[in-house]
Amino acid sequence: MNVDDEDRNTPVEVRAPRGATTTQIEFADGHQGLYPHDLLRGYCPCAQCQGHSGPIRFVPGGDQVLSEIAEVGNYALRLTWGDGHSSGIYSFNYLRRLCACEQCGHGDLTQRTFSR
């Protein structure tokens, strides 16, 4: 199975109740993705957070209140944080790899790296 199958990885429902510290994303194939906001913020893929080279890694700090989720094109979500940071574009494929559910996430989830 191709891990970067965009059809499979398209979110069909995003549940981020106001005040919640975890967002749930249901994908087209039925997978229930789990995203603690500290992980989502730490793995913000933007150049400001990640620099311009190397894999995407966990960067601690930053506001972890998720204030807005917007779809970008048909391939990504843009997340806006309580401190106004909004340059992170999370592709559906990246979100799928970032999933922290029991099935996908093992060990210390802040130690993972992701290719760009």
What does the binding site for Zn ion look like in residue numbers (CB under 5 A)? 44, 46, 49, 88
Rounded distance between C-alpha atoms, residue 114 and residue 116, angstroms: 6
Nearer to Zn ion, 21 or 87 (CB): 87
Rounded distance between C-alpha atoms, residue 50 and residue 115, angstroms: 12
Nearer to Zn ion, 9 or 50 (CB): 50
Cβ-Cβ contacts under 8 Å for 99 (sequence gap 6 or more): 25, 31, 33, 34, 35, 105
- Closest approach of Zn ion to the CB of residue 116, in Å: 13
Nearer to Zn ion, 8 or 78 (CB): 78
Classified as helix, coil or strand, 76 is: strand
66: enclosing H helix or E strand: strand 66-72
Nearer to Zn ion, 29 or 51 (CB): 51
